Structure 1
Amino acid sequence: MRLTDHIDTAGTSVSQKVADGLVRMILDGTLKPGERVREAVIAADLGLSRNTVREAVRLLENTGLVRYIFNKGLVIWNPDDADVVDVYKARLQLELAAVASVDDATDFTSVHGAFDQFLEALKTHDVRSIVEADLAIHQAIVGLMGSERLNGYYAQLMNELRYFLLVLSIDHREYVDTAALEEEHRTIIDALMLRDPAHAREILAGIIEENRDAVREILKKRTTA
């Protein structure tokens, strides 16, 4: 396999292009879970400096698609079913706690702003932009609790959620026909606006659990393929 067949480094922002190319290779299965990411090999294959590739790898780390493993270095993340269940359990607890905190005085400005940005991202049909905007809505929901520490916990969780949302969007081609994604998030926003925590919790839990099960099924098929 030659990386030049998958990654075009012409033009500006070479590091970003390399990172984007590596993301595509991970998501389409060209780079396999557990496979090492070797900066020296990438630099040599693409004819780039180690500094350029190092920056690209730093950008790749921000996607949550790679992990540092002792004695192996940087490898493509290989989550098992327990990882999916645990990440979504943590997500569910944080977001439901946020919804439960809603009352008549709750200010939804940040949530509305994130939703507006999400609608703009949907127009791009760019999977990474959509996933980032999707995560920003849920980060804003957690932010309703007004706790910097909880915001920080959720931000850490997003590194793993990002991988699952990317996998789900790619597999279901959600970035192509975005109507279902828009409706899903509009339903969440509408439930919050009713300021009825019980109703909003039910709506949000149903959506999160449905997405969790879809991700589990996708990864199960990849493992047994």
Structure 2
Amino acid sequence: MANRALSEALRQIPTRVSVQPSAAERVADVLREQIVNGALRSGTRLTEETIGAALGFSRNTIREAFALLIAERLAAREPNRGVFVATPTASDIRDLYATRRLIEPAALEHGIGFSHAAVARLREVVDAAHACREHEDTAGVAQGNQEFHRTVARLAESRRVDQLMEGVLAEMRLVFHLMGDDPGFHVPYLDRNEAIIRDLEAGDRAGAAAALRAYLSDAEEHLLGALHHP
């Protein structure tokens, strides 16, 4: 009887299950992109009416999208006021860097995706960021720096780590926007990226991991100092 019930239930499932994103996910994707690229800054109120009218979705769909962004810490709901783009705090910065120190150095030292090809990819990312610096493209430098850290995390070859890192980097963009995207912040770290890639090219994964731990701690203090003394 149990097998017959299971078979009957399975016959009700479509043979091809759709993997298309829901309407709420599509709305969240649009808003997330605008938050990450700085078009929607911390403290901006997100209203159902305005977003629904602009994107052509119902208020229920917009509410579901808000819930997704709140879960990602990119938005926050304030009682009796509404939903706003999140404003990172000093506590958020400390938590983000605690997470990064667990993920990134471990990926460098122990990631199963480490190979000559992976190191070559990191070299391409670092060289592209240097080219942006030479052309005084500060936005390109910032993007290159984030791509360096994203590529480091991918050495873990874990979809869960990749997903977690994408969320961390999205929150980091909010932090950088809060600083006013100071062009002086990212540039000094390019040389430290260069030192890390040289360690990797020499086969010194432990040295690269140690350098990245120190780098992340210094960046954390740099950001906390800027937050307290804008």
- Normalised TM-score (structure 2): 0.63
1:197 and 2:208 matched:
no
Deviations 1:81-109 (A, max 9, x none): 21111100101110011112169x62323
Counterpart-to-counterpart distance in 1, 2:180 and 2:206:
29
Task: Tell me which residue corresponds to 1:23.
Answer: 38
For residue 34 of structure 1, report the CA deviation from its aligned partner.
3.7
Q: 2:147 aligns with which of 126, 136, 139?
A: 136
Indicate how the Cα distance of structure 1 residues 134 and 191 shifts in structure 2: closer, same or farther if over 3 A, else same.
same
Counterpart-to-counterpart distance in 1, 2:92 and 2:150:
20
Q: 2:45 aligns with which of 26, 36, 39?
A: 36
CA RMSD of aligned residues (A): 3.8
Task: Tell me which residue corresponds to 1:182.
Answer: 190
Counterpart-to-counterpart distance in 2, 1:127 and 1:68:
29
Unpaired segments ≥5 residues, structure 1: 1-14, 27-32, 44-48
Counterpart-to-counterpart distance in 2, 1:174 and 1:68:
27
For residue 184 of structure 1, report the CA deviation from its aligned partner.
2.1
Task: Tell me which residue corresponds to 1:51.
Answer: 54
For residue 68 of structure 1, report the CA deviation from its aligned partner.
4.0
Aligned residue runs from structure 1 range 106-117, under 5 A: 106-107=115-116, 108-117=119-128
Q: 1:151 aligns with which of 133, 158, 162?
A: 162
Report if aligned partners of 2:45, 2:85 keep a CA contact under 8 Å in 1: yes
Task: Tell me which residue corresponds to 2:22.
Answer: none
Counterpart-to-counterpart distance in 1, 2:180 and 2:138:
7
Deviations 1:173-225 (A, max 9, x none): 347xx4x3431221121122222232112211111110101111111235xxx
- Look up the SS of the partner of 1:69 in the other structure: strand
Larger Rg: 2
Counterpart-to-counterpart distance in 1, 2:92 and 2:108:
24
Q: 1:69 aligns with which of 62, 77, 81?
A: 77
Indicate how the Cα distance of structure 1 residues 167 and 134 shifts in structure 2: closer, same or farther if over 3 A, else same.
farther
Report if aligned partners of 1:142, 1:154 keep a CA contact under 8 Å in 2: yes
Identity among equivalent positions (%) equals: 16
Equivalences, count: 184
Task: Tell me which residue corresponds to 1:162.
Answer: 173
For residue 156 of structure 1, report the CA deviation from its aligned partner.
1.4
Task: Tell me which residue corresponds to 2:103.
Answer: 94
Report if aligned partners of 1:127, 1:169 keep a CA contact under 8 Å in 2: no
Counterpart-to-counterpart distance in 2, 1:146 and 1:221:
39
Report if aligned partners of 1:100, 1:201 keep a CA contact under 8 Å in 2: yes
Indicate how the Cα distance of structure 1 residues 117 and 217 shifts in structure 2: closer, same or farther if over 3 A, else same.
same
Report if aligned partners of 1:65, 1:163 keep a CA contact under 8 Å in 2: no
Counterpart-to-counterpart distance in 2, 1:135 and 1:161:
9
- Look up the SS of the partner of 2:75 in the other structure: strand
Deviations 1:69-128 (A, max 9, x none): 26544423222221111100101110011112169x623232123223323333453443
2:38 partner letter: V
Counterpart-to-counterpart distance in 1, 2:180 and 2:195:
19
Counterpart-to-counterpart distance in 1, 2:123 and 2:201:
10
Deviations 1:108-165 (A, max 9, x none): 2321232233233334534433222211111111111222221121111111122234
2:100 partner letter: R
